[in-house]
């Protein structure tokens, strides 16, 4: 099966580590591309390419502010990721509940043996 284009799917877009780093930086607020590039140790054109992908999948918005363009996080685009990972959260919670019950059972058995 052919892989979806990076710019058509939020999962493919955030698969790239530098894009996830950009999103993490934008949690603190809007930033110009030059600042993002400097923070990430990449070129401005490289940062711009990543921002374009993030903008096209709806994770980043931009606006003109004087002579520069500011980029900001639009976390609403992460909803599909949040919904998908929610199933795994339930899985882990249930797994930890089973582990806790197992440990409690072992503890009871150990106390019974030591009281004999």
Residue ranges covered by each domain of the chain: 6-73, 79-114
At the second CATH level, the architecture of 6-73 is Orthogonal Bundle (1.10)
3 state DSSP class of 80: helix
CA 29, 39, 16: angle at the middle one, nearest 5?
85
pLDDT digits (tens, 9 = 90+) for 19-49: 999 999 999 999 999 999 999 999 999 999 9
pLDDT for the residue 91: 86
| pTM for this model (two decimals) | 0.74
Instruction: Tell me the pLDDT band of 56, cut-offs 50, 70 and 90.
Output: very high
Q: How far apart are CA 35 and CA 39, in angstroms?
A: 6
The answer to whether 26 and 72 are in contact (CB under 8 A) is: yes
């Amino acid at each position: 099966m052919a892989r979806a284009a990076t710019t058509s799917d939020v999962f493919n877009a955030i698969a790239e580590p530098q894009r996830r780093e950009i999103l993490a930086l934008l949690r603190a607020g809007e930033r110009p591309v030059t600042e993002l590039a400097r923070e990430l140790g990449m070129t401005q054109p490289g940062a711009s390419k990543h921002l374009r992908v993030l903008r096209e999948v709806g994770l980043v918005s931009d606006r003109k502010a004087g002579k520069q363009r500011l980029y900001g996080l639009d976390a609403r685009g992460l909803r599909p990721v949040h919904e998908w990972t929610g199933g795994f959260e339930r899985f882990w919670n249930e797994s930890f509940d089973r582990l806790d019950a197992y440990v409690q059972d072992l503890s009871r058995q150990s106390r019974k043996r030591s009281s004999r």
